[in-house]
Amino acid sequence: MAQVLEFKLPDLGEGLTEAEIVRWLVQVGDVVAVDQPVVEVETAKAMVEVPCPYGGVVTARFGEEGAELPVGAPLLTVAVGEGAEGHRPAADPGTDGGAARAGEQPGARERRSEGSGNVLVGYGTSEAPARRRRVRPQGRASGVTAGAGTAGAGSSGAGVPGRANGRVRAAEPVDGPVPVISPLVRRLARENDLDLRELTGSGPDGLILRADVEYALRAAAAQGGRAAREAGPHPDGTVREQALAATAGATATAGAAVTEPAGVAGSAVPPGDVRIPLKGVRGAVADKLARSRREIPDATCWVDADATELMRARAAMNAASGPKISLVALLARICTAALARFPELNSTVDTQAREIVRFDHVHLGFAAQTDRGLVVPVVRDAHARDAEALTSEFARLTEAARAGRLTPGELTGGTFTLNNYGVFGVDGSTPIVNHPEAAMLGVGRIVPKPWVHEGELAVRQVVQLSLTFDHRVCDGGTAGGFLRYVADCVEQPAVLLRTL
């Protein structure tokens, strides 16, 4: 007899707690093999294809494309064993988890330890601890929850009480202690007159997270906006009282969750405005940059350098047979040589221990602009690679970044960052340090400019170099010495050869 097994979103590593469904790779009724990728998800770090540890027939999928799911939430169910081919549901239940389970045979909820076990980080195919079921008393309705459910209308989860965009909300308040740990979550709910008993948390054992509260507020505000637009004047000059009442209730519930433009207090946000969620890669970048600005007292110094000789050296290297050497690889070699002379800048600050930690290796990050936002892939042990090896690794990581295939390990652990913003056609910048690193070297465009060379005015290839650094790890003298050494190597590559 076929057995229905539930596959949950695994721990994707690097402390990530949720992921967004980008693309389903299987349909309900499809036959899948063990370790076959079944869904493509996007985390704050990278795009990941998630393999299923079971082989059989897909009987249900949970979550639409674009929905965010917490780690441990059901992804799909698979019928395995003898008779699995005939265990096909009549229709795809979409995000309706209750419907997916309604047709399960006796014993289908049992878990077994069989499976490949190859499910990314910290997640296997063995029995997971049972999650607490929450009691939902009858006879009480939730205004906020109703708003959330309505906001999700139009998705495959439409008509499912309390479910919108892949998140679960209780259709009715619950009795007993509210599973909330964070004082911030309680304060956010209190300030917006939101009853936490009306929510079902997406955290472990139903724990209510800040994201759950914010989602409920956004859903209520969105419902209020639609009601306001529907409350426009009728041909007979009357106004829909019901829509106005809904708008007032949603606005009161949302509270500070929505900031209304000046001059339209009490009304919805103009329909022409666009709201773009800060999530995925964009959200991760925003959080990191904001944290860097809050915690790092940075300073920037810069210098113009004559890059004519560096460009000639690169042309000579590429004229010979063999792989071509990229300019960013030469700049990386210069960076690693400079960090060997000024190790203060290859460090981080341990704020808990109040210590500066200097690294004995250089994991060099480099800024890469992609369609999904700015990412910083990391070249491991850059100090031990020659120009040819650096060129190859830069090319591999850049291609993976543009395709959205970088792993979390390839996006973390950097000790110093090289930012070649000259590719955007600009001369200079004051970049934000890539937290928790201590410094970043910026390189502008290389352009012909008048330059005094050997006592005479000449047209030379000039570049502006800038160094943004954490003033806690060193003073201006060290930062200036580092930048001057980099500039000397750019102007006279032979300087670099003497230090190798």
Residues carrying an active site annotation: 471
Q: What are phi and psi of 369, to 5 degrees?
A: -90, 130
Three-state DSSP class for residue 332: helix
Report the alpha-carbon distance of residue 20 to residue 489 in Å, rounded.
45
In DSSP terms, 355 is beta-bridged to 350
Contacts of 338 (CB under 8 A, 6+ apart): 482, 485, 486, 489
Handedness of CA 53, 97, 69, 112 (dihedral sign): negative
For residues 228 and 234, what is the distance between their CA atoms, to the nearest angstrom? 13
3-state class (DSSP) for residue 204: helix
| Rounded-to-integer distance, Cα 334 and Cα 491, Å | 11
Query: Is there a contact between 346 and 358 (Cβ–Cβ < 8 Å)?
Result: yes
In single-letter form, the type of residue at position 193 comes to D
3: number of Cβ within 10 Å: 23
C-alpha span between 141 and 146 (Å, rounded): 8
